[in-house]
Amino acid sequence: MEIASMNNDEKPSNFFTKGLLWFKSLHEKIFAKIVGIAKQFKTIAKDDPRRVIHSLKVGLSLTLVSLFYYFQSLYNSFGVSTMWAIMTVVVVFEFSVGSTLGKGLNRGMATLLAGALGVGAHYLASATGKVMEPILLGLFVFLQACALTFIRFFPQVKARYDYGMLIFILTFCLVSISGFRVDEIVDMAHKRISTILMGASVCVIVSIVVCPVWAGEDLHKLVAQNMEKLGKFLEGFGDEIFKSSEDITESKVTKTSLIEYKSVLNSKNTEETLANFAKWEPGHGQFKYRHPWKQYLKIGGLIRQCACRIDALNAYINSEIKAPEEIREMIKETSMKMSIECGKALKELSKSMRKMNLPISADEHVTNAKNSAKKLNSLLKSRINNWEEINLLQVIPLATIASILTDIVICVEEIGQGVNELASLANFKTTKSSKEIINTNKVMVVEKIELSNNHVVITINEQNMKL
Amino acid sequence: MEIASMNNDEKPSNFFTKGLLWFKSLHEKIFAKIVGIAKQFKTIAKDDPRRVIHSLKVGLSLTLVSLFYYFQSLYNSFGVSTMWAIMTVVVVFEFSVGSTLGKGLNRGMATLLAGALGVGAHYLASATGKVMEPILLGLFVFLQACALTFIRFFPQVKARYDYGMLIFILTFCLVSISGFRVDEIVDMAHKRISTILMGASVCVIVSIVVCPVWAGEDLHKLVAQNMEKLGKFLEGFGDEIFKSSEDITESKVTKTSLIEYKSVLNSKNTEETLANFAKWEPGHGQFKYRHPWKQYLKIGGLIRQCACRIDALNAYINSEIKAPEEIREMIKETSMKMSIECGKALKELSKSMRKMNLPISADEHVTNAKNSAKKLNSLLKSRINNWEEINLLQVIPLATIASILTDIVICVEEIGQGVNELASLANFKTTKSSKEIINTNKVMVVEKIELSNNHVVITINEQNMKL
């Protein structure tokens, strides 16, 4: 009690002070919250500055279509229907050109079609007399809503025409039912369709003209980046895994950059969405219309498969390997080589994809990795009799790493084939150095005597032919 | 030439017949196309019959709101604004209750807020005079569109309030700008808001009352099903992998059912979407409001990690294992046990999750699997001196399988812990048999002498405490 009263003396806790403190803490809390939000604003804008530009573009388009309201002459010709232009801009304007175009075209086509059918349904129903009209209209609305809602479940429709289906249902209902109340239904449909088309055009034009964001380009970069992430891991893994226990502690800093590959595991959805958008886009930059976007999904799938193997490998990155020195050294050299060469191959593939050049030395790296795998196999076969008493338990982690790495080599080879297919489908450029290789290779094919030469390039191409 | 003319005689190819043939083939093609589409209709409906019901529900809701047009007294009070009810139904009605509720609440709240702000902006702008009014309105529209479009990039906002943001931009623009032309802006805003609220209510009521589809229930089932798929694979793998080469050919039929696990690898997106929807849903069936949906995402992540390991294991299912009989037999028994016990544990976890009972024997299976892993380790240690000349090359696949299986055991254990956490968070029921176990366990903890008993349950719980 004494202590309590003493405290009371020191910090007088009357109502006013309590309130002041509470207000102060609230003030601080709110301030911290605002600072937090501002920081998040900054990170999101910094992560992708195109987001800021996108926001400005939306604002610009909306201001443009709202001009219809401000100028008397424009407003006179469309009247209340002007709001459809605004609605279209808000709903259709998306981040990438592809999705804006897709939504715009969907909206435009669906409105035209459904508008025409709606007018037809209205005339058909009104011909049956005042009693039957609402019943027939109700039936039409019910049936088309049921049918189209079901069609939206079709995977092909869902991927590309989902929004169009929605707008079809909407427009058909509005036009056919409105006809029951509004007399000049054709005039109404005409005004609405024109404003919607205008709104959609504004979106498409602004989205293409002002700093366009191409979904296709994003997909291209994403796939290349994913390859690079795996490449980074494999190169890093080769360096990390066989370090002695003293080195392990200090190298933990670099490990954080290695787990970037984890994001690759869940990239399927993003890739598919981007590919769907990209199909709507016209030719842009290095990409022609009908660029083989499907091939990107195939490569993406192979990359994910490889990432899955890498995830299994990652479990060993923190474990210390205790195998006998001799075995350790033997497996170390070849495993490191496999991992690093695979990493180099992926990085090279990623680089050449980014620049849309034919990959030059990727096949070479893959062959090196395969040769290391073969070497490991033969080493294991030949040296086995020299080991008197090996502890299989200690060898197993090493053996697993080697085995997973062998799987990864196959994955990387498949990715390389996928990129080569893409290169031929999309006519990747032949750089000066890749031309040289092709020329050398041609000579080699003619004169087979030179195959025993030390020339590395020759061996690769020869290998590829065998595959 | 002769043959040709003969053919000409046999099949007179004049214009009419050609046309007829073309028409016939076209007819057949169209018929085949229609049959194909009808078949797809059937499959999609069969895959999930709730899709048909959903389509009928959309039709019903649209017919309900279109009644506003047909009855004179209803139409008189709302006029053209009735179309907002139809628009709301088309756009808001979604497959699951959660997403319909989420969209409906988003739309309702955003319309109310933006409507009020829009009216405010209109009065503010109109107070500045006829010249400044459009400029100020344009500025308001531009600024709020930019700000809210950018806020849509915030991950938390994107997940739950994206649609609300969109509707906010739309309503604010429409209400504030319309005020420039329409005189009775408050009346207009009032009518529009009421019709939108009515439309949203119809959606929510129909979606909850008529055969509701709960996103939460779907998520619950999906996670349980994914666990079962992995369990099936592991049980099957245990049976398959160590079969002799004669058995391999005949067992290929069953293998197709094993690769069901592949779908688990890409389930992240679906799970996250369902969890977001589920958060909107009120309590239903066995799920209370604020059911721990987040925990499902955690378990889902663990399951995918396990599926990734299984994918690495799957590479070995087709390879024939040539290791010496002795090693093969030794590793076979323990590996089979590990795989099958893990499979049983996952199946048990899946089953208990479905029924929302406390998992009874899953921990037991995990312990069995762990014991097998330990047994394998000690076997490898002890028997190693007996093997004179082993071919390490032949042992490596076996060693890898064993090593990956050990990883899987750890994964399964983590999944089990995740499910147990869920069970305590969501108050899973205690079945009669699990009660018995808990009672026995209590006795065991008190009198530790009985630990040497053959009672399996005791060992598990003791093991779990050690973890």
**What are φ and ψ of residue A419, in 5° steps?**
-65, -40
Minimal CA separation from A415 to chain B, in Å: 17
Residue B259 at interface with chain A, using a CB cutoff of 8 Å: no
Residue-level pLDDT at B415: 92
Separation of alpha carbons B311 and A309, rounded Å: 8
Q: Do A66 and B137 touch (CB under 8 A)?
A: yes
Residue-level pLDDT at A460: 34
Average pLDDT, chain B: 80
Q: Do B51 and A150 touch (CB under 8 A)?
A: yes
Find which of A66, A92, A305 to mutate to test the B interface (most B CBs within 10 Å of its CB). A66
Separation of alpha carbons B78 and B109, rounded Å: 20
Separation of alpha carbons B233 and A268, rounded Å: 23
**Residue of B188 and B456 predicted with greater confidence:** B188
Question: At residue B118, does pLDDT exceed 60?
Answer: yes
Q: What is the average pLDDT across A5-34?
A: 76
Q: Give B409-432 pLDDT, tens digit per residue.
A: 989 999 999 999 998 888 888 765
Q: Identify which of A134, A174, A311 has the shortest CB distance to residue B308.
A: A311
Question: What are B271's two structure tokens?
Answer: 């799970």
Greatest mean pLDDT among A246-255, A370-379, B110-119 lies in B110-119
Separation of alpha carbons A186 and A262, rounded Å: 56
Strand partners, A284: A287
Residue B157 at interface with chain A, using a CB cutoff of 8 Å: no
Minimal CA separation from B444 to chain A, in Å: 35
Collect all residues of chain A within an 8 Å Cβ-Cβ radius of residue B94: none
Question: At residue B389, does pLDDT exceed 60?
Answer: no
Minimal CA separation from A252 to chain B, in Å: 22
Question: What are B52's two structure tokens?
Answer: 């048909």
Question: What are A339's two structure tokens?
Answer: 């991992």
Nearest chain A residue to B385 by CA distance is: A389
Minimal CA separation from A167 to chain B, in Å: 8
Q: Do A391 and B384 touch (CB under 8 A)?
A: yes
* Rounded percentage of chain B residues whose pLDDT exceeds 90: 33
Residue A404 at interface with chain B, using a CB cutoff of 8 Å: yes
**Residue of A4 and B158 predicted with greater confidence:** B158
**Residue of B192 and B301 predicted with greater confidence:** B301
Separation of alpha carbons A226 and A232, rounded Å: 10
Minimal CA separation from A385 to chain B, in Å: 6
Contacts of A22 (CB under 8 A, 6+ apart): none
End-to-end CA distance of chain B: 89
Minimal CA separation from A403 to chain B, in Å: 7
Separation of alpha carbons A371 and B319, rounded Å: 21
Q: Do A149 and B63 touch (CB under 8 A)?
A: no
Question: At residue A454, does pLDDT exceed 80?
Answer: no
Window 277-306 of B, Cβ < 8 Å to A: 304-305
Residue-level pLDDT at B382: 65
Question: At residue B441, does pLDDT exceed 80?
Answer: no
SS3 A209: helix
Cβ contact A405:A313 at 8 Å? yes
Q: Return contacts of B363-367, CB within 8 angstroms, 24+ apart.
A: B363/B416, B363/B460, B363/B461, B363/B463, B363/B464, B364/B456, B364/B457, B364/B460, B365/B341, B366/B341, B366/B342, B366/B409, B366/B412, B366/B413, B366/B416, B366/B460, B367/B456, B367/B459, B367/B460, B367/B463
Separation of alpha carbons B467 and B465, rounded Å: 5
Residue A210 at interface with chain B, using a CB cutoff of 8 Å: no
Q: Do B308 and A265 touch (CB under 8 A)?
A: yes
Q: Do A380 and B402 touch (CB under 8 A)?
A: no
Residue-level pLDDT at A68: 81
Q: What is the average pLDDT across B149-172?
A: 92
Residue B408 at interface with chain A, using a CB cutoff of 8 Å: no
Find which of A393, A411, A414 to mutate to test the B interface (most B CBs within 10 Å of its CB). A393
Q: Do B87 and A174 touch (CB under 8 A)?
A: yes
- Across the A:B interface, residue pairs with CB atoms under 8 Å apart total 211
Residue-level pLDDT at A440: 42
Find which of A92, A266, A326 to mutate to test the B interface (most B CBs within 10 Å of its CB). A266
Residue-level pLDDT at A226: 93
Window 71-90 of B, Cβ < 8 Å to A: 75, 80, 83, 86-87, 90
Residue B191 at interface with chain A, using a CB cutoff of 8 Å: no
Collect all residues of chain A within an 8 Å Cβ-Cβ radius of residue B407: 312, 315
Question: With bands split at pLDDT 50, 70 and 90, how would you rate the model's confidence at A309?
Answer: confident
Minimal CA separation from B437 to chain A, in Å: 35
Residue-level pLDDT at A389: 54
Cβ contact B394:B322 at 8 Å? yes
Collect all residues of chain B within an 8 Å Cβ-Cβ radius of residue A396: 380, 399, 402-403
SS3 A131: coil
Q: Identify which of A143, A182, A403 has the shortest CB distance to residue B400.
A: A403
Q: Give A201-237 pLDDT, tens digit per residue.
A: 999 999 999 999 999 999 999 999 999 999 988 888 8
Separation of alpha carbons B137 and B122, rounded Å: 7
Residue-level pLDDT at B255: 63
Question: What are A395's two structure tokens?
Answer: 């060898």
**What are φ and ψ of residue B447, in 5° steps?**
-100, 100
* Rounded percentage of chain B residues whose pLDDT exceeds 70: 80
Question: With bands split at pLDDT 50, 70 and 90, how would you rate the model's confidence at B383?
Answer: low
Find which of A392, A395, A411 to mutate to test the B interface (most B CBs within 10 Å of its CB). A392
Residue B251 at interface with chain A, using a CB cutoff of 8 Å: no
Question: What are B191's two structure tokens?
Answer: 């009518």
Cβ contact A373:A406 at 8 Å? yes
Residue A407 at interface with chain B, using a CB cutoff of 8 Å: yes
Cβ contact B343:B361 at 8 Å? no
Q: Do B51 and A153 touch (CB under 8 A)?
A: yes
Residue B396 at interface with chain A, using a CB cutoff of 8 Å: yes
Q: Do B166 and A51 touch (CB under 8 A)?
A: no
Q: What is the average pLDDT across B178-191?
A: 77
Residue A268 at interface with chain B, using a CB cutoff of 8 Å: yes
Task: Give me Rg for the CA atoms of chain B.
Answer: 33
Q: Identify which of A173, A268, A269 has the shortest CB distance to residue B90.
A: A173
SS3 A13: coil
Separation of alpha carbons A143 and A141, rounded Å: 6
**Residue of B209 and B467 predicted with greater confidence:** B209
Q: Identify which of B63, B312, B315 has the shortest CB distance to residue A138.
A: B63
Q: Give A432-453 pLDDT, tens digit per residue.
A: 555 544 444 433 333 333 333 3
Question: What are B12's two structure tokens?
Answer: 């007179």
Q: What is the average pLDDT across A314-335?
A: 72
Find which of B87, B90, B152 to mutate to test the A interface (most A CBs within 10 Å of its CB). B90
Three-state SS string across chain B, please?
Answer: CHHHHHHHHHCCCCHHHHHHHHHHHHHHHHHHHHHHHHHHHHHHHHHCCHHHHHHHHHHHHHHHHHHHHHCHHHHHHHHHHHHHHHHHHHHHCCCCHHHHHHHHHHHHHHHHHHHHHHHHHHHHHHCCCCCHHHHHHHHHHHHHHHHHHHHCCCHHHHHHCHHHHHHHHHHHHHHHHHCCCCCCHHHHHHHHHHHHHHHHHHHHHHHHHCCCCCHHHHHHHHHHHHHHHHHHHHHHHHHHCCCCHHHHHHCHHHHHHHHHHHHHHCCHHHHHHHHHHHCCCCCECCECCCCCHHHHHHHHHHHHHHHHHHHHHHCCCCCCCCCCHHHHHHHHHHHHHHHHHHHHHHHHHHHHHHHCECCCCHHHHHHHHHHHHHHHHHHHHHHHHHCCCCCHHHHHHHHHHHHHHHHHHHHHHHHHHHHHHHHHHCCCECCHHHHHHHHHHHHHHHCHHHHHCCCHHHHHHHHHHHC
Minimal CA separation from B417 to chain A, in Å: 20
Q: Which residue has the tokens 């031929």?
A: A424
Q: Give A399-418 pLDDT, tens digit per residue.
A: 778 888 888 898 999 999 99
Residue B121 at interface with chain A, using a CB cutoff of 8 Å: no
Residue A58 at interface with chain B, using a CB cutoff of 8 Å: yes
Residue-level pLDDT at B381: 66
Contacts of A10 (CB under 8 A, 6+ apart): none
